[in-house]
Amino acid sequence: MTVCIAALAADSKTIVCIADKALSYGDQIQWDADSSKITTLDNNKSLILMAGSEGPTNRLLRKLNPLTKEWSGNRIELMQLLEQKFKEAMEEEQEIILLRPQMMTRSEYLNAISGNEINRYMEELARQMREFIFDSALLMCGFDTDNQPYIILLDHPGRAIDCSNTGFSAIGTGAEKATSCLLFNEYARSHGVARSLYDCYDAKIFAEMAPGVGYEWEMRLITAAGAVPLHDQAKPLLDQVWVKYCRSPFEKRKKGDAPNPPKDWELKLRRFVKASLDRCDPTDVKSN
């Protein structure tokens, strides 16, 4: 239960990635934590955004761990590898959860359901195997060997979808709400990084209406040079801008509300973005 969003910006020269930091256990326990749903791959040149249950997701990530050695940088090859690794992880999870408790291997199960007659016990097990859901979804984001950006969605039942033409994608319980918010905000890949990251931030807040989406969040930016975190000073500024421009005009300010943003908030946000991409202090960024 989560929301992760990835979107192209600056005419596809940058990918904006954001994810919440909530942890959920069943339907009754949820809390914001110091967790991360974004991990790096390929020497920090690519990012993986994660949604789903901890067990399946961890198993899938273990399968993807050696991907750097196996992947040449070709996008089609990457999608084929992702589908292969998802299939392997899903079959392992099926066997552990459904077959091992019955003291069966996959080959024994396949032999049992291949006969002319199948008893009711095996029919029920076959039904459970058919309806098994591998609760894990990933967004793989980065730049290929041609320095072209990609956003690849990988989810059950193991299908890899290239979302680069669409320009954005979202996963998790808040994905539908985040997507509708991006469309309502008239997202376009031609928008600058500052606007795109604000739109992604707005979509993440809108997704908080979905169960399991947390308040705390993290954001990364990816260029052909690699992935970098958003500068910490940008986070409170985004809060201030959102409170001023996205809250109902009928809502009165409360004591704990963020203050109004400075008049030059847009310039400051662009400076924080430049500082993030250049990996420097915002004071070292010269104004245009």
Separation CA 80–CA 188 (nearest Å) = 28
| pLDDT of the residue at 65 | 85
Residue 118 maps to a domain: no
Residue 181 maps to a domain: no
Instruction: Please list the ranges in the chain whose pLDDT falls under 70.
Output: 25-31, 43, 287-288
CB 203 within 8 A of CB 21: no
| pLDDT of the residue at 26 | 62
Residue 94 maps to a domain: yes
- 43 is in which domain, residue-wise? 4-103+130-175+213-226
**The domain that contains 28 carries what CATH number?**
3.60.20.10
Residue 145 maps to a domain: yes
In tens, the pLDDT along 76-121 reads 999 999 999 999 999 999 999 999 999 999 999 998 888 777 788 8
| pLDDT of the residue at 29 | 65
Name beta bridge partners: 220: 17, 229
| pLDDT of the residue at 101 | 93
**Core vs surface per residue 14-35: b (16+ CB within 10 A) or e:** bbbbbbbbbbbeeeeebeeeeb
In tens, the pLDDT along 115-126 reads 777 788 888 999
Separation CA 283–CA 199 (nearest Å) = 25
Residue 266 maps to a domain: no
Residue 150 maps to a domain: yes
In a 3-state reduction of DSSP, which class is residue 247? coil
Separation CA 97–CA 17 (nearest Å) = 33
Residue 72 maps to a domain: yes
- How many domains would you assign to the chain? 1
**Core vs surface per residue 40-52: b (16+ CB within 10 A) or e:** ebbeebbbbbbbb
pTM for the full model?
0.91
Residue 207 maps to a domain: no
